[in-house]
Amino acid sequence: IEGAISMALKYRDTYEADKALLRIKGYWNRTLRTIQVKTPDESMNILANGWLLYQTISCRIWARSAFYQSGGAYGFRDQLQDVMAAAYVSPEITKKQILNCCAHQFLEGDVQHWWHP
């Protein structure tokens, strides 16, 4: 609660809110423009050059949610599959996710298939 109150107080200042918005726009522009593809289909270009990677990082990796799974749990296999989309554009996100999953693998090689943070 204290963190939420602190953020609310900070960002009610429009100058601070504008600075934060510029930072996050810059982050997404850099991240989503790292790899670009060009196809004859403009709809495919929009999906491949932004939307799919944005959804993977923001929804699957950070929010641990999807259309078919909204419980907020980490799924061992799902998270590793999903983070592969970020391997070239954000190696630090990929590394963090791999290490997070490794913490849920047992000495015998089996894994905890899903867990809540």
User: Is residue 110 scored above 80 in pLDDT?
Assistant: yes
Write the pLDDT tens digit of every residue in 50-101: 999 999 999 888 877 766 666 777 888 888 998 999 999 999 999 999 999 9
pTM for the full predicted model? 0.76
Rounded to whole angstroms, how far apart are CA atoms 102 and 83?
14
Contact present, 113 and 101 (Cβ < 8 Å): no
**Which residues have a Cβ under 8 Å from the Cβ of 95 and sit 6 or more positions away?**
none
Write the pLDDT tens digit of every residue in 3-58: 999 999 999 999 999 999 999 999 999 999 999 999 999 999 999 999 999 999 99
pLDDT value, residue 68 = 62
